[in-house]
Chains A and B, each alone.
With several copies, the nearest count.
Chain A
Amino acid sequence: MRDLTLAFVGAGGDGAVAAGDIVASACASKGLHIIKTEAYGPQIRGGESSSTVRVSGEPIHAQSDAVDVLVVFSWADFGRFRDEIALADKAIVFHERGDEPPEAIASRTCFGVPFAALAREAGAAGAKNVLATGLVAGALGLPLDAIRSAIARRFAKKAPAVIESNLRIFDRGVLEAASLGPLALEQFTYETGTPKLLMSGNEATALGAIHAGCRFFAGYPITPSTEILQFLGEWLPKLGGSMLQTEDELSAIGATIGASFAGTKAMTATSGPGLSLMAELLGLASIAEIPTVVVNVQRGGPSTGLPTKSEQSDLFQAVYASHGDTPRVVIACSDVEESFHATVDAFNIAEEYQFPVIVLSDQSIAQRRQTVDEVRLQHEVRDRRYPGPEDLQDYQRYRSRPDGVSPMSVPGMAGGIYQTNGLEHDEQGRPSASFQVHEAMNQKRFDKLEAVAERYRLFHRFGAERPEVGVICWGSSVGVLHEALQKMGEEAGRVGVFAPIMLAPLPRHNMQTFIDSCDSILVVELSYSGQFHQYLLSQVDLPRQATSLYSRSGGKPLLASEIVKALQPLLVANRMEVLA
């Protein structure tokens, strides 16, 4: 087999997560494709944890629906993840000997392995995760040399003896595998390729910011976005920039706006609760036309909701936050690599068009680690439109222009002095309560939005060229659609997918063309109330009779098989129509 999913589950000290890391790192170094996710119980330390690694020789786009090889150090800890971890039909299960599997699992091929005892024997009782890694690698044919290097790297800062003992334990696990006898599961096969980078969506976002020239970040920690703050806190100072952890999210976006006003590319990042708090200041950035990038990593909502789980339910807040008519741009990313590109696009648009731009990610993208080709982390960088000498003759900050974009001076620039505000204002920035000024300035700001819509048409389009069923989805659902089409085999030839990357303004024209080319439409999203569907209804012309919606609450990722199932009745219905 060329596509394998492993899961390790245990208590805090069991090293389930480390085992996943080692396998992932090793396989990435061989040029394989990896998607690795983790899950934890509510306890911060010492609670249950699970690590799931999907390895494939071919590009992959989402977690897989089911696990092929499961390692469980304790079934009690497994309990928390029962609903999240589905086992493939042919799955094999390794568990601590004596801790017998629950009934639902026992029907699979299960091996009781004395992990703790073997590890103790081999010299390090705590290293049962390394032992399990050896066992799995040996049994499935994973690249042993690469895993050995990965182990060595992992303990590089420890004493050589530690490395040695871990390698010994790993080998002990490999040896143990030989004694299992032939398995129903095929061996994993692969070709070696150029090593790939392995990073999380949050890290890719942060890299995108650095690439775009961001040199100021202000933020307040919040799951699942905090890694962006932490990464930039480490790297910005090296690059001559600064990270500021503020007292709250209002201050975070406030400082971001201030830094941008002063001429530095700036960003903040948060999750739903923080985005809600930023609503008022988003409006300020919009009316004062200050480039402001806000990354929002969605988690389960509403309110504090499910902080460690994924959902696509901050769409409304991203698109509509703030009172008044407040144009802004919203860009979504659908996987780790796109987190990089979406962030650079966000800066480009923010800077050129002087908008607040929201990048929507979600927990499943932000916190999974995925392989990325280094060469693909390139993206054109665009800069602010500064006033030229002619503009500075009698400079007017908000002078009207055909596309609504007025050159923006920055403090320090002689001749560029202006006073701005969040009140409605005239071309010079002076407060005005005049209806005429208000109408003209609303128009100016929405003209910019039109200009963005004309210039940027960011979307994914894949699957059938003339689809019977057209699927419209966004963000992390896009990867699941890729997987679903793959799963469907021939039937996939009847399904096409359109997924806007730019959510506001939508690439309306392209989307409408797509819609009009399909017999029926299925909207897919991870939101109980179907926010995306409602939003689409307001923006494009969906055929009411021929549109259906597959949406549900988050908390559990969308599965490819769910989508395949949701598509079935539509495909049948269409066929019946053809027959009729």
Chain B
Amino acid sequence: MSSAPHTVNDYKTDLKPVWCPGCGDFGVLNSVYRALADLQREPHETVVVSGIGCSSRLPGYVATYGFNSLHGRALPIATGVKVAAPNLTVLAVGGDGDGIAIGGNHFMHAARRNVDITYLMMDNEIYGLTKGQAAPTTPSGDRTKSTTYGNPEQAVDPCALAISFGSTWVGRGFSGDVKGTTELMKLAILHHGFAFLNLISPCVTWRGDDQFKALRAKLRAVPEGHDRTDRAAALRLTSEDDHLTAGVLFEEQRTTLVEELMEIRGRAGAGLARPTRGEILRSFAPA
């Protein structure tokens, strides 16, 4: 471990983001830099895994270990990383399409297993990279490149899903608010278990320049007194009355996957020395 504290710049690669000018993902990236620096996570002990999408380009811009993998597959890969090397700080990042369309099942199961990673979903209500088709988060009725006559499907609320899936920490931030988002991200990273942070991150190209304004208008803070351990309350709160509630919505403590696996090792070994080759082979001996 190096002893000089890491600055925000230590987390920047020299790759210039390919995002459109004004894209919400810039704000998210800045929060990632700040959160990692604030928490002084060692770059070489941090891994950022993503899928495919505009948002999934993010790992290329963060000077930690990074893996921009396949569309929808960030979470299985991040799970493998975490189980193999539990001491690493593991962030999974990606888009709403990546995480809820093609990757929806992995989202459910990673949350259910309480894999101890932080999952940042950059939610722009659209498929950005493929140039503007409807995502599962696109409001019903909206016209997009793939919904000429208006989106026939009901939009999902990623936070509500995350809670139903069994995430043990669920929050929402807004890429326009780098400071607030940074704080949320730090809480998410510090949370012990599967932390899901929904980041409203406007796509100015396919959803229009007014998205920052429009979405900001929908945001409201978690009301004081919200009991974040109350799942039903969190569900009610997340997107009531067409509002988007920002802040920490839900939190609970539950054994993480890695803890479960460690316990299993304990039970399997029953405190004994590792079995030798001979011991393993003996189970095949007929006598």
Which residues in A have some Cβ–Cβ distance to B below 8 Å?
Answer: 24-26, 28-29, 41-47, 149-150, 153, 195-199, 203, 207, 210-211, 215-216, 218, 220-223, 226, 229-230, 233-235, 237-240, 242-264, 266, 273, 280-281, 284, 288, 303-304, 372, 374, 377, 410-423, 430-431
Docked pose: A254 CA to B51 CA in angstroms? 11
Contact B106–A411 (Cβ < 8 Å): no
Residue B85 CB within 8 A of the other chain? yes
Set A249, A421, A430: member contacting B67, Cβ < 8 A? A421
Among A233, A248, A417, the residue within 8 A (CB) of B44 is A417
Contact yes or no, B76 A233, CB < 8 A: no
With A247-B109, A248-B101, A254-B80 already in contact, the answer to whether A203 and B67 are too (CB < 8 A) is no
Assuming A197-B285, A249-B102, what are 18 further A-B pairs, CB within 8 angstroms?
A44-B20, A197-B281, A230-B148, A233-B148, A235-B275, A237-B267, A238-B269, A245-B133, A250-B73, A259-B84, A261-B81, A263-B85, A304-B70, A411-B81, A419-B60, A420-B66, A420-B68, A430-B60
CA distance A44 to B127 in the complex (A): 12
Contact A237 B268 (CB under 8 A): yes
Q: Does B30 contact A (CB under 8 A)?
A: no
Residues in B neighbouring A45, C-beta threshold 8 A: 20-21, 205
Pick the contact of A412 from B63, B71, B85, B131 — CB < 8 Å? B85
Q: Are A412 and B80 in contact (CB under 8 A)?
A: no
Q: Kindly state whether residue B213 has any CB partner on chain A within 8 Å.
A: no
| Nearest neighbor of A257 in chain B, beta-carbon distance | B77
Alpha-carbon distance between A411 and B145 when the two chains are bound, in angstroms: 33
Q: Are B286 and A419 within 8 A (Cβ)?
A: no
Please tell me if the beta carbons of B66 and A418 are within 8 angstroms of each other in the complex. yes
Q: Which residue of B lies closest to A423 (CB)?
A: B68
Q: Does B247 contact A (CB under 8 A)?
A: no
Closest A residue to B85 using CB positions: A262
Which listed segment binds A: B11-19, B171-179, B186-194, B227-235? Answer: B11-19
| B128 nearest CB across to chain A (Å) | 6
Main SS of the interface on chain A?
Answer: mixed
Q: How far is the CA of A196 from the CA of B71 in the complex (A)?
A: 39
Asked if residues B21 and A46 are in contact (CB atoms below 8 Å), the reply is: yes
Q: Given A237, A266, A303, A423, which contacts B264 in the complex, CB threshold below 8 Å?
A: A237
- The smallest C-beta distance from A42 to any residue of chain B, in angstroms, reads 4
Q: Which of B67, B264, B277 neighbours the largest number of chain A CB atoms within 10 Å of its CB?
A: B67
Given A411-B45, A421-B68: A255 touches B80 (CB 8 Å cut-off): yes
Asked if A415 and B44 sit within 8 Å, CB to CB, the answer is yes
Evaluate contact between A46 and B284: CB separation under 8 angstroms: no
Chain B 65-100 near chain A by CB (<8 Å), digits 1 or 0: 111111111011111111111011000000000000
Cβ-based interface call for B129 (8 A): yes
Q: Which of A243, A258, A273, A430 is within 8 Å of B81, CB to CB?
A: A258
* Interfacial chain A residues near B145, Cβ < 8 Å: 226, 230
Quote the shortest CB–CB distance from A150 to chain B (angstroms): 7
**Which residue of B45, B80, B128 is within 8 Å of A266 (Cβ)?**
B80
Is residue B52 within 8 Å, beta carbon to beta carbon, of the partner chain? Answer: yes
Tell me if B249 is interfacial: C-beta within 8 Å of chain A: no
Q: Which residues of A contact B45 (CB under 8 A)?
A: 411-412
Alpha-carbon gap, A280 to B284, bound state (A)? 36
Q: Kindly list chain B residues whose C-beta atoms are within 8 Å of the C-beta of A238.
A: 265, 268-269, 274-275
Q: Cβ of B109: which chain A residues have Cβ within 8 Å of it?
A: 246-247, 251
27 chain-A/chain-B pairs, Cβ below 8 angstroms: A29-B285, A29-B286, A47-B18, A197-B286, A216-B83, A226-B131, A226-B133, A229-B146, A238-B274, A239-B274, A242-B264, A244-B79, A246-B109, A248-B102, A250-B106, A255-B80, A259-B80, A259-B84, A262-B47, A266-B84, A411-B47, A415-B44, A417-B64, A419-B48, A422-B69, A430-B15, A431-B68
Contact A237 B149 (CB under 8 A): yes
- Specify the chain A residue showing the minimal Cβ separation from B275: A238
* Residues of chain B lying within 8 A (CB to CB) of residue A240: 265, 274
Inter-chain contacts of A243 with B (CB < 8 A)? 146
B261 touches A242 (CB 8 A): yes
When A242-B261, A430-B15 are in contact, do A248 and B105 touch as well, CB less than 8 Å? yes
Shortest Cβ distance from A206 into B: residue: B280
Nearest chain-A residue to B73 (Cβ)? A254
CA distance A423 to B64 in the complex (A): 18
Residues of A within 8 A of B267 (CB): 237
B49 at the interface (CB under 8 A from A): yes
**Which of B70, B88, B136, B281 is the one whose CB lies under 8 Å from A284?**
B70
B246 within 8 A of partner (CB)? no
CB neighbours of B21 from chain A (8 A) = 45-46
Partner among B88, B127, B130 whose Cβ is within 8 Å of the Cβ of A411: B88
Indicate the member of B44, B73, B84 with the most A CB atoms within 10 Å: B84
With beta carbons under 8 angstroms apart, the residue of B13, B106, B264, B281 that contacts A377 is: B281
B146 with A221: CB separation less than 8 A: yes
Shortest CB-to-CB span from B71 to chain A, Å, is 7
Residues of A within 8 A of B13 (CB): 419
Nearest residue (CB) in B for A199 is B284
Known: A245-B146, A263-B84, A419-B59. A220 touches B102 (CB 8 A): yes
B65: nearest chain-A partner, CB-CB: A411
Please state if B54 and A281 are interface contacts (CB–CB under 8 Å). no
Q: Which residue of B lies closest to A219 (CB)?
A: B146
Residue of B nearest to A255 (CB): B80
B70, A273: Cβ atoms closer than 8 Å = yes
CB-CB under 8 A from A245, the residues of chain B are 133-134, 146-147
Residues from chain B with a CB closer than 8 A to the CB of A237 are 148-149, 261, 264-265, 267-269
Q: Report the nearest B residue to A224, measured CB to CB.
A: B130
Q: Is A419 touching B146 in the complex (CB atoms < 8 A)?
A: no
Say whether A44 contacts B129, CB under 8 Å: yes
Q: What are the residues of chain A within 8 A of B44 when measuring CB–CB?
A: 411-417
Q: Are A281 and B84 in contact (CB under 8 A)?
A: no
Q: Is the CB of A244 within 8 A of B83?
A: yes
A264 to B83, CA, bound (A): 10
Instruction: List, in ascending order, chain A residues with CB within 8 A of B129's CB.
Output: 44, 223
Q: Is there an interface contact between A195 and B287, defined as CB atoms closer than 8 Å?
A: yes
Residues of A within 8 A of B77 (CB): 254-255, 257-258, 261
Instruction: Check A281–B149 contact: CB distance below 8 A.
Output: no
- The answer to whether B60 touches A44, judged by C-beta atoms less than 8 angstroms apart, is no
B59: A residues at CB distance < 8 A: 419, 421
Closest to B1 in A: A414
Closest residue of chain B to A34 (Cβ to Cβ) is B286
Residues of A within 8 A of B286 (CB): 24-26, 28-29, 150, 153, 195-198
Chain A residues contacting B81 (CB-CB under 8 Å) are 258-259, 261-262, 411
B62 at the interface (CB under 8 A from A): yes
Q: Do B128 and A258 have beta carbons less than 8 Å apart?
A: no
Q: How many Å from the CB of B172 to the closest CB on chain A?
A: 23
Contact B76–A264 (Cβ < 8 Å): no
Q: Assuming A258-B76, A417-B44, A422-B69, is B277 touching A211 (CB within 8 A)?
A: yes
How far apart are B278's CB and chain A's nearest CB, in angstroms? 9
Within 8 A of A (CB), among B240-280: 261, 264-265, 267-269, 274-275, 277, 280
